[in-house]
Chain A
């Protein structure tokens, strides 16, 4: 293999045919066609028909997997990666090396059994969205995957440095997941959703079971107090366990290593993922803490990387961890802009007003309803919501903050998920200043730093209006002086 010329077309491992047969990867697309045919022919032929059907589908899956493997080849040349595929309509996709934004290697469970990996080349095509942006080379050996990754990434960086440096790039560990941090998982909304989804699937399954397999519950009193409490406690324990297991599956053995000019994140219990980010493309970090996570001092750190597809998952630098570690990590990537400054008192009034305005409307409607029809329930609900809105508004104000340092700046907002974005000065590709009617009366304005990474913009809510031009100039560059009034 290695003696072939460099641009030679390579094939994936034939073992992948087995994997794809079992997972019906290619045969899946025939399901919409097969279902009506099956329904028309009727499934009532008894056991033989079912066996025949299963054998037939497996054979179909084997054939399609085999054909796909046979028609698939890839080549990593000195200037581009080429993937040729397609059964009848051939497609040749060529991605120039300088357009490649990253390479991800993942190894799902079956792939790991056979020593295979799946390589995703993030092509950052820009114009086409979604899955089209990447080349997927499914089913190469682990060694070949590593070779491909290194080959693609070294072709891309201009002239390779002197051989000594290239052979042994400096490795430095940035973060390593401590399994005790899994205990934070029950406080994180996304991990809590995992067991809930599983329970939903179970209920659907139970619904579809034939009646004779379903336990007969009609005799017992379902509303017996003890049973209810017991079920509640069991559900709570299951929820907690499920979220911990869910977090473990995704984050097991997470480590973040710097090798040369890139950061390499490895994670996952069943599917191992290997993501590489270029440090030069990192424009900032976000440090996010959900309301529950704040109780335990847990945080999540993501990198804001320009031109990164699927950034929410790939940009993760620390999926879950204690605050101190998270900030140490964030500071290594982006300079510390200094302590956050609070926003003016008018911002506090505005946060509280916004938090209670909805419930004030409910209260007013409740007053009308009480006067006209004697419905006092709505009034009570409105008053309770208004009272609850005040601390919410104060908490939202407390999480507002901004800071400007010599090389970076930070903005923080949010209560349910409090997110602090720390951005480099060079990250800013534009400013957007917004002032609503009420903000104008209060002398406030919202400033959004437009960034070509992450979600596109990070806002400093309710800054004092006269601080805006100075903040923009300090956080980006002299070009932002266009915002300030001409000196008279």
Chain B
């Protein structure tokens, strides 16, 4: 059965390109940790161990290499492509997810708080995340990895506009 590729409109704006660098760094860090674990396994498991271990000695390093290729070479670009966001005249709108896609739309009139956070890696890459919270636990919009000045401008603008058009907000 062929259907329209997407039920709703795709938000207009991509994240910052620096996000790719950050995701690659994250992939490198987790791959290194996994590699150390695989090496430890290979060193400390005796070669004449019983049945499943000889197999594991090959399986674990192979899996670690495959993970490293995916996490460093593929995942950052996929993530960059699937995250989109947009602020329109009266709403904030995001799209996330690759296999299962999720679009979230929150009207500016119902915004309760806008948070800007910067993790350690994000500070290295000059990035910041913005979370837009409403009265509903499920109605939270998160935009990861925007350039710091974009994020701050975005947050200030939202907070300012929310104050002007706010109704009961719940």
A residues sitting closer than 8 Å to B (CB atoms) are 281, 283, 306-307, 346, 426, 429-437, 440-443, 445, 448, 450-453, 455-457, 465-466, 468-469, 472, 476-480, 482-486
Cα distance, A450 to B88, chains bound together (Å): 19
- Nearest CB of B to A107, in Å: 31
CB-based contact B105/A434 at 8 Å: no
Partner of A484, one of B9, B86, B135: B9
Residues in A with CB closer than 8 Å to B138 are: 430, 432, 448, 450, 456-457
A346 touches B103 (CB 8 A): no
Q: Which B-chain residue is minimally distant from A280 (CB atoms)?
A: B168
Q: Interface residues of A: mostly helix, strand, loop or mixed?
A: mixed
Chain B 30-45 interface mask (CB, 8 Å, partner A; 1/0): 0000000000000000
Chain B residues positioned under 8 Å from A485 (CB to CB): 8-9
Assess whether B3 is interfacial by the CB under 8 Å rule: yes
Chain B nearest CB: distance from A479 CB in Å? 4
Judge if B47 is at the interface, Cβ distance under 8 Å.
Answer: no
In the complex, which residue of chain A has the Cβ closest to the Cβ of B103?
A: A433
Given A429-B110, A432-B102: A441 and B139 within 8 A (CB)?
no
CA distance A172 to B27 in the complex (A): 64
Q: Which of B1, B9, B138, B141 has the most CB of A within 10 A?
A: B138
C-alpha gap A283/B134 in the complex (Å): 15
A457 in contact with B3 (CB, 8 Å): no
Residues from chain A with Cβ under 8 Å of B93 in the complex: 482-483
B164 interfacial by beta-carbon distance below 8 Å: no
Q: Are B4 and A443 in contact (CB under 8 A)?
A: yes
Contacts of B86 in A (CB 8 A): 482
> A452 touches which one: B103, B109, B136 (CB < 8 A)?
B136
User: What A residues does B139 contact at CB under 8 A?
Assistant: 429-430, 432, 450-452, 456-457
A to B CB contacts below 8 Å, 18 in the list: A426-B168, A429-B169, A430-B104, A430-B105, A433-B8, A441-B1, A452-B170, A457-B136, A465-B4, A465-B7, A466-B3, A472-B105, A479-B91, A482-B90, A483-B8, A483-B9, A483-B103, A484-B9
By a CB distance below 8 angstroms, the chain B residues around A466 are: 3-4, 7
Per a CB cutoff under 8 Å, which of B7, B9, B135 touches A429?
B135
Known: A435-B101, A441-B1, A482-B105. 11 other contacts (CB 8 A): A346-B1, A429-B135, A430-B106, A431-B105, A432-B103, A433-B103, A445-B8, A448-B138, A450-B136, A465-B7, A477-B107
Tier of interface size on chain B: 35 or more
Interface residues of B in 57-114 (CB under 8 A from A): 86, 88, 90-91, 93, 99-110
- The reply to whether B100 and A437 form a contact with Cβ atoms under 8 Å apart is yes
Cβ contacts under 8 Å, A457 to chain B? 136-139
Given the complex, which residues of A lie within 8 Å of B105, measured CB to CB? Answer: 430-433, 472, 480, 482-483
- Distance, CA A432 to CA B91, complexed state (A): 13
Contact check, B8 vs A306: say whether CB atoms are below 8 A apart: no
For residue B156, give the distance in angstroms from its CB to the closest CB of chain A. 21
Let me know if B99 and A436 touch, CB within 8 A.
Answer: yes
Q: How far is the CB of B5 from chain A (nearest CB, A)?
A: 8
- Do A486 and B9 contact each other (CB < 8 Å), given the known contacts A430-B139, A456-B139? yes
Q: How far, in angstroms, from A168 to B125 measured CA to CA in the complex?
A: 66
Q: Once the chains are docked, how many angstroms separate the CA of A480 from the CA of B137?
A: 19
Given A456-B138, A482-B91, A483-B8, do A306 and B102 touch, yes or no (CB 8 Å)?
no
Which residues in B have their C-beta under 8 angstroms from that of A281? 170
A423 → chain B, closest Cβ, in Å? Answer: 12
Closest beta carbon of chain B to A432's beta carbon, Å? 5
Residues of B within 8 A of A451 (CB): 136, 139
Residues A430 and B4 in contact, CB atoms below 8 Å apart: no
Chain B residues with Cβ under 8 A from A483's Cβ? 8-9, 93, 103, 105
Cβ distance B137 to chain A, nearest Cβ, rounded Å:
4
CB distance from A206 to the nearest CB of B (A): 44
Interface residues of B in 1-32 (CB under 8 A from A): 1, 3-9
Tell me whether A468 and B7 are in contact (CB under 8 A): yes
Inter-chain CA distance A448–B88, complex, in Å, is 20
> Residues of A contacting B106 with CB < 8 Å?
429-430, 450
